[in-house]
């Protein structure tokens, strides 16, 4: 067992999840089973392999250009209002669980 209940509680905190007791037990079992499955990656020697976060710096760009110049097509003039106008306040607030018509409302942030 690589992942313990304590680890699960810690990671749940990082992820802002409050798991029930039952969920925690299930998570210990599932994470261990998945991590056991992904262990097979260690069969590969990757010491001289560069990591790849995404593919679009290799394909669909002009590879003859160095570094970020490849993406020059994706840059644009700074338009203060944005490509799309900002949402009107009432639109921005329309999906909020709680608001006073001007601001989003949340429970008290600072505990005394």
Partner 1 sequence: MELTSLTIDAARSVVQERRTSALALAEAHYARIQKEDGQVGAFLTLSKERALEQADRIDRMAAEGKPLPALGGVPVGIKDVMVTRGVRTTAGSRILANYIPFYDCTAVARMEAAGAVVLGKMNCDEFAMGSSNENSAFHPVRNPRDLTRVPGGSSGGAAAAVAADMAVVTLGSDTGGSIRQPASFCGVVGLMPTYGRVSRYGLIAFASSLDHIGPLAKTVKDAAIVLRSIAGRDPMDPTSADLPVPDYVAEVDKPVRGLKLGVAKEYFGEGLDDEVRQAVETAIDNLKHLGCEIVPVSLPHTPYATPTYYLVATAEASSNLARYDGVRYSYRAPGVKSLSEMYRRSRDEGFGTEVKRRIMLGTYALSAGYYDAYYLKAQKVRTLLVRDFEEAFTKVDAIVTPTSPTAAFRLGEKSNDPVAMYLADVYTVTADLAGIPGISVPCGKTKEKLPIGLQILGRHFDEATVLRVAHAYEQAS
- The secondary structure of the chain in percent helix, strand, coil, rounded to multiples of 5, reads 40, 0, 55
Tokens representing 76?
């644009």
Q: What is the DSSP string of 12-39?
A: HHHTT----HHHHHHHHHHHHHHHHHHG
Tokens representing 106?
């949340």
Asked whether position 102 contacts partner 1 by CB under 8 A, the answer is no
Alpha-carbon gap, residue 85 to 7, rounded angstroms: 44
Asked whether position 37 contacts partner 1 by CB under 8 A, the answer is yes
Q: Which of 3, 49, 42, 10 is nearest to 26 (CA)?
A: 3
Please select the residue that binds partner 1; options are 4, 5, 21, 60, rule is CB under 8 A. 60
Please report how close the Cβ of residue 20 comes to partner 1 at its closest, in angstroms.
8
Asked whether position 89 contacts partner 1 by CB under 8 A, the answer is no
Asked whether position 85 contacts partner 1 by CB under 8 A, the answer is no
Asked whether position 91 contacts partner 1 by CB under 8 A, the answer is yes
Asked whether position 12 contacts partner 1 by CB under 8 A, the answer is yes
Binding site for partner 1 (CB under 8 A): 3, 7-8, 11-12, 14-20, 23, 26-27, 30-31, 33-35, 37-44, 46, 49-56, 58-61, 71, 73-74, 76, 83-84, 87, 91-92, 94-98, 104, 106-109, 111
């Amino acid at each position: 067992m690589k992942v313990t209940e304590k680890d699960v509680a810690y990671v749940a905190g990082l992820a802002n999840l409050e798991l029930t007791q039952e969920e925690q037990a299930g998570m210990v079992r599932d994470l261990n089973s998945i991590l056991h499955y992904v262990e097979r990656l260690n069969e590969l020697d990757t010491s001289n392999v560069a990591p790849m976060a995404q593919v679009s710096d290799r394909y669909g760009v002009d590879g003859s250009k160095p570094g970020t110049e490849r993406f020059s097509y994706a840059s644009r003039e700074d338009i203060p209002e944005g490509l799309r106008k900002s949402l009107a306040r009432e639109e921005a607030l329309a999906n909020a669980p709680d608001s006073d018509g001007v601001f989003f409302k949340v429970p008290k942030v600072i505990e005394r």
